[in-house]
């Protein structure tokens, strides 16, 4: 999906909602656990219930890899379902946080983007920039695919390193300054946590036009209004992720209905905020 196609999708759905498919067998409704592939069936129901409200879906790979081959099969079926049942209707993100030396990153990129090789074909993958340019560039060798660079995260431990200052430049700012030369607004986004929403103003001074993937709204306490106030651009420029608040809105047989209600509440608020651009 190109940048313009993503912008068009946001305008069409009046939404910049990304739903995190962090599917945990211990949390999904009990009536699904007897099925052959409960993770996929749960994901499918969530997707079907929210496809007109969300512009992106973001499986966190840890929630699939922990189940070995079966988990990988569930992930593959989920992405294939989105791509074949709803082509062009959702941007898919592999929340993998990969980052290693060049040869290894090439293989990670194959795993996320090369369907004949791995069975997966995501639109984007999250990457850790700590090892520098040669650990990130291999992901950019795939046309029309995106990387999403970790810049300023929403977890408490972000304080340990990301705010380290040298010559008046904080580490997360140095990540932005250096990495924006590796790609462009057409194939690179940044992760910026909603719990650090006030920092978005500083981030926009460095990357005024890049899309930002913003986790932390909802269960982690981030404010959608604050994110929009400091981070929205004329093209929206935001994908705001919500996981637990939506997918675990109910643990009963009505889980998909309740997920839709919560996604609908967020989309309605997003529609109002987009209309003000």
Residue 264 C-alpha from the chain's centroid: 18
Number of other residues whose CB lies within 10 A of the CB of residue 115: 14
* CA–CA gap between residue 173 and residue 162 (Å, rounded): 9
* CA–CA gap between residue 112 and residue 55 (Å, rounded): 19
What are the backbone angles phi and psi of residue 183, rounded to the nearest 5°? -140, -150
Question: Burial of 6 by CB count in 10 Å (0-12 exposed, 13-18 middle, 19+ buried)?
Answer: buried
What are the backbone angles phi and psi of residue 28, rounded to the nearest 5°? -75, 160
Known active-site residue 234: no
CA dist list (Å): 222 to 20, 133, 199, 217: 15, 31, 13, 4
Encoded tokens for 38: 């409960």
Catalytic residue among 27, 44, 70, 97: 97
* CA–CA gap between residue 189 and residue 136 (Å, rounded): 13
Question: Burial of 77 by CB count in 10 Å (0-12 exposed, 13-18 middle, 19+ buried)?
Answer: middle
CB 20 within 8 Å of CB 60: yes
- Which SS3 state, helix, strand or coil, does residue 225 take? helix
- Which SS3 state, helix, strand or coil, does residue 234 take? coil
For the annotated catalytic residues, the residue numbers are 97
């Amino acid at each position: 999906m190109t940048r313009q196609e993503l912008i068009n999708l946001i305008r069409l759905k009046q939404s910049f909602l990304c739903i995190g498919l962090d599917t945990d067998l211990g949390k999904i409704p009990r009536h699904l656990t007897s099925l052959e592939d409960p993770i996929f069936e749960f994901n499918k129901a969530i997707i079907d219930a929210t496809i007109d409200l969300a512009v992106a879906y973001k499986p966190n790979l840890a929630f699939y890899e922990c189940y070995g081959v079966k988990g990988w099969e569930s992930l593959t079926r989920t992405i294939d379902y989105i791509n074949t049942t709803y082509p062009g209707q959702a941007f898919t993100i592999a929340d993998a946080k990969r980052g290693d030396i060049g040869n290894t990153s090439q293989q990670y990129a194959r795993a996320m983007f090369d369907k004949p090789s791995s069975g997966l074909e995501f639109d984007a993958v999250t990457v850790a920039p700590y090892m520098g340019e040669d650990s990130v560039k291999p992901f950019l060798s795939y046309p029309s695919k995106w990387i999403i660079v970790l810049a300023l995260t929403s977890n408490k431990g972000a304080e340990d390193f990301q705010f380290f200052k040298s010559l008046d430049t904080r580490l997360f700012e140095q990540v932005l300054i250096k990495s924006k030369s590796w790609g462009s607004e057409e194939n690179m986004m940044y992760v910026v946590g909603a719990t650090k929403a006030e920092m978005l103003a500083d981030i926009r001074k460095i990357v005024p036009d890049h899309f930002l993937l913003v986790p932390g709204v909802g269960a982690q306490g981030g404010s959608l209004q604050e994110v929009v106030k400091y981070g929205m651009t004329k093209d929206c420029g935001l994908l705001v992720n919500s996981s637990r608040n939506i997918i675990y809105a109910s643990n009963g047989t009505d889980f998909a209905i309740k997920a839709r209600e919560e996604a609908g509440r967020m989309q309605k608020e997003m529609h109002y905020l987009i209309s003000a651009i």
